[in-house]
Structure 1
Amino acid sequence: MKVAIIPGNGAGDVFHANWYGWAHKQINKMENVSCDLRNMPDPITAKESIWIPFMREQMECDENTVIIGHSSGAEAAMRFAEKYKVKGIILVSACVTDLGDDNERASGYYSRPWDWTTIKANTDFVVQFGSTDDPFIPWEEQQAVADGLSSDLRKFSDKGHFMNSSFPKLLEVVKEKIKD
């Protein structure tokens, strides 16, 4: 099985940002699993028109891939699953609108309604991590994703925007899903 980690925008070198490098290393230690993490093209605006083809053509995300998306990467994971079948998506700090931010609006993810039915049909599972104290994504936005996707929601009140250097709960979910 393959796992692809899609970072949030503005992360800089993804191997040293948040929990991405840590998760990449831990997942690659698992048996019969490979994890792909890359510095994304257009890392500031994270344009859908650039990221989705990159995920498909360069990272080779397909029906045997679990996509882990954080923040802008969560929106990329959802839009990817609107177009292509994937094994599953794990969303971290996901939202449904651009929150009035010009850079987020320019990404293109929010220019149309979310096709929840197609996303669900194209995934075997959707797990979502969210925190009520996220300083960037209001809880209502995260709950809207959970409602739209009927996700397996892991709700916290003390994780902020999930920017720690490790993420053990994420690793537990990956281990659980690769056994299935």
Structure 2
Amino acid sequence: MKVAIIPGNGAGDVFMANWYGWAHEKINRLPGVTADLRNMPDPITARENIWIPFMRDKMSCDESTIIIGHSSGAEAAMRFAEKYKVKGIILVSACVTDLGDENERESGYYNRPWEWDKIKTNTEFIVQFGSTDDPFIEWDEHQQVADGLQPEFHKFSDRGHFMNSVFPELINVVKSKLS
């Protein structure tokens, strides 16, 4: 089983950002699982036409992969699952619009409708984490993802944009999906 952690957009080493490196280490300790986390190409804009081929060709995301996407990485996970079969997607701080931000608009994820049915058809499971106090994404955006995908939904009121250094609930979900 493979797990690919797709970070949000930004700069710097993803192993030192948020919970990514911590989760990578924890998942790699699970029996029979390999986690992949990489500094993504085009890390600031996170363009779909760069990230999706990178996920497919360099990270080898396929039907045996669980993709964990955070923020822009969640949108990448959803767009990937529109095109390709994956084991499952775990979305953290997902949204459906560019939030009025030009950099987000340039990423290309938001220039067409979301194909919820294709995403659901191409995944065995979908899990979503969202927090009502997210400072970057209005709750309505989280809710639109939930309405479209009908995921296993983990709603919080005190996690902001999930930028903590640890994320134990994520590991618990990964473990539950592996059994």
Q: Give TM class, smaller chain.
A: over 0.9
- In the aligned structure 2, how far is the partner of 1:12 from the partner of 1:97? 25
Q: Which residues in structure 2 correspond to 1:116-135 (within 5 Å)?
A: 116-135=116-135
> Is 1:144–2:136 an aligned residue pair?
no
How far does residue 28 in structure 1 lie from its aligned partner after superposition? 0.1
Runs of 4+ in 1 over 4 A off after TM superposition: none
- In the aligned structure 2, how far is the partner of 1:45 from the partner of 1:123? 26
- Residue equivalent to 1:80: 80
TM-score by length of 1: 0.99
- In the aligned structure 1, how far is the partner of 2:74 from the partner of 2:19? 15
- Residue equivalent to 2:54: 54
TM-score by length of 2: 0.99
- In the aligned structure 1, how far is the partner of 2:93 from the partner of 2:125? 17
In 2, are the aligned partners of 1:11 and 1:17 still within 8 Å (CA)? no
- Runs of 5+ unmatched residues, structure 2: none
> Is 1:3–2:42 an aligned residue pair?
no
- In the aligned structure 1, how far is the partner of 2:168 from the partner of 2:122? 27
- Residue equivalent to 1:97: 97
Letter of the 1:137 counterpart: I
Letter of the 1:45 counterpart: T
Aligned length: 179
Q: Deviations over 1:128-172 (max 9, x none)?
A: 000000000110000000000011110000000000000000000
RMSD between aligned alpha carbons?
A: 0.4
- Residue equivalent to 1:32: 32
In 2, are the aligned partners of 1:56 and 1:62 still within 8 Å (CA)? yes
- In the aligned structure 2, how far is the partner of 1:77 from the partner of 1:53? 12
Q: Deviations over 1:83-124 (max 9, x none)?
A: 000000000000000011000000000000000000000000
- Residue equivalent to 1:12: 12
- In the aligned structure 1, how far is the partner of 2:124 from the partner of 2:149? 12
- Runs of 5+ unmatched residues, structure 1: none
- Residue equivalent to 2:172: 172
Letter of the 1:124 counterpart: E
- In the aligned structure 2, how far is the partner of 1:12 from the partner of 1:80? 24
Letter of the 2:59 counterpart: M
- In the aligned structure 2, how far is the partner of 1:35 from the partner of 1:12? 20
How far does residue 12 in structure 1 lie from its aligned partner after superposition? 1.7
Q: The residue matched to 1:137 in structure 2 has which SS?
A: coil
Q: The residue matched to 1:81 in structure 2 has which SS?
A: helix
